[in-house]
Amino acid sequence: MQPFQHMAPGRKFHVTVAELTHMDFGDHHFDGFAPPEKYHELMKRLGLAFWETTLRRNDPTEAGFRRSLRQEGVGGVLAAEGATGEFQSK
């Protein structure tokens, strides 16, 4: 989180999900640890929302990213797994 806080404003998004780390996105760590399978779908949907918003430049704003998160059903997956998350933009 610290690098995000020090970045200049403008099209920056930070999503935090309780119990997950940055390394969990790849499904397996170098030490052989695998995050809970229940988070695989969530990580996939977060990635798709990011691609849709920023890399396709389909409205790279906070509102655009929030819309992509909704369209990908991220909130529903979080709720179904009993997980909590936080979204920040600047």
- How would DSSP label each residue in the chain? -HHHHHSPSSS-EEEEETT--GGGGGSS-TTS----GGGHHHHHHHHHHHIIIIIS-S--SHHHHHHHHHHTTHHHHHHHTT--EEEEE-
* 6-24 tens-digit pLDDT: 888 877 788 888 877 776 6
- What is the domain partition of the chain in residue ranges? 2-89
- Quote the pTM value: 0.68
**What does the pLDDT read at residue 33?**
62
Mean pLDDT of 46-70: 85
Give the total residue count for the chain. 90
Q: What is the mean pLDDT of the chain?
A: 78
**What does the pLDDT read at residue 31?**
67
